[in-house]
Amino acid sequence: MRSTIVATFAASLVVASLVAAHGIVTDIEIDGEWYTSSLVFEDPYKIPIPERITWSFFGSGNSPVADFTTRDIVCNENASAAALVAEVDAGAEITFYWGTWPESHKGPVMTYLANCGSDCRTVDPAALFYFKIDHAGLEDGEWISDQIIANNLSYTITIPEDIAPGNYLIRHELLALHLASDELGAQFYPMCANLRISGSGIINPTGVKFPGAYKMDDPGILVNIYNDIDTYTIPGPPPYNSDNEFSDDDFESVAEISAASVSVFNSSDFIAFTLTKSYPALASAYTEPSTSDFKLKKSFSLSSVSVPEGSSDNFDCNVNG
């Protein structure tokens, strides 16, 4: 009888530890280097509290961020800056290991980067602009959350090779949709870590802010996953893709050019092309340039609007990138 009680108690401890760890990244492997994350149920009770590369949120435990309209959506509830910074090369892989994840908590995974400027340890994370570098949701009837469980509770992303070196906050999150048919029922589990990315890239992708990137009526946030859905719209912007994405550095002195189209000709030949992506800097209507300060540094697909004959000197266009 006594052995049965002991066994039952031991089993309950195992279950309790698994439940406690759910929704928390416990470890991160960065380009082969292993880092222990901030552990909400362990670190606060250690003397001294361990320094980590991940931002801590001791007050929230493993509770999800339900109200994504607050700043808690950035790095979790009342998150505190991490003391350490992990070095990583652009193009390297990062693997996030979750403590556990219930099979019922089906949903997507999303990862963002934000350039901190001089130091991520002193920055306000809600003031940064985040560009998504990876996401996965529902594919061929299988949720990525199920794949994460099957893959030793891990998910691997790759740092884009062409982004500019610097200090970055990486924001990784799982979203549980088992209660998402109700407003504010979707459960977000975000976390952040400090990175210093090295490389020879020059791209600074445009980004979104948190809070603000997610809306209450987004189809990927207010959704009933029990309706045998075949497709799922992952919240937030599409991931950055070096093949077709634009950044602030892709343009030099862009003024009064349509976001929809622009045309350029060389000598007497017109090169027709249409911008395939909307870009904030191209919001105003096109007017003929009067100076020679317009230069495109990246290749585009263009068509529609023609530059008046005789204006070719106003353009220096490198269509091959």
HSE-up (13 A, CA, CB side) for residue 229: 17
Of the candidates 198, 227, 260, which is a domain's last residue? 198
Q: 29 forms bridges with which residues in the sheet?
A: 34, 95
> What pTM, to 2 d.p., does this model score?
0.73
- State the burial class of residue 32 (Cβ atoms within 10 Å of its Cβ: 0-12, 13-18, 19+): exposed
Give percent of the chain above pLDDT 70. Answer: 69
Tell me the per-residue pLDDT of 21-70, one tens digit each, with 9 for 90 and over. 579 999 999 999 999 999 999 999 999 999 999 999 999 888 999 899 99
Query: Per-residue DSSP letters for 232-261?
Result: ---SSSPPP-TTT--BGGGEES--S--SS-
Residue 288 in this model has a pLDDT that exceeds 80? no
Q: What share of the chain is helix, strand, coil (3-state, %, to 5)?
A: 15, 30, 55
Sheet with 251-252, strands from edge to edge, namely 251-252, 294-296, 315-317
Percentage of the residues of the chain whose pLDDT score is greater than 90: 66
Contact 58, 40 (CB under 8 A): yes
Cα 122 to the chain's mean position, in Å?
Answer: 20
Please give the tally of structural domains in the chain: 2
Residues 182, 263, single domain; the answer is: no
Q: Which of 198, 229, 255 is the last residue of a domain?
A: 198
140, 32: one domain: yes
Domain of 185, in residue numbers: 23-198
Highest mean pLDDT among 109-113, 277-281, 314-318: 109-113
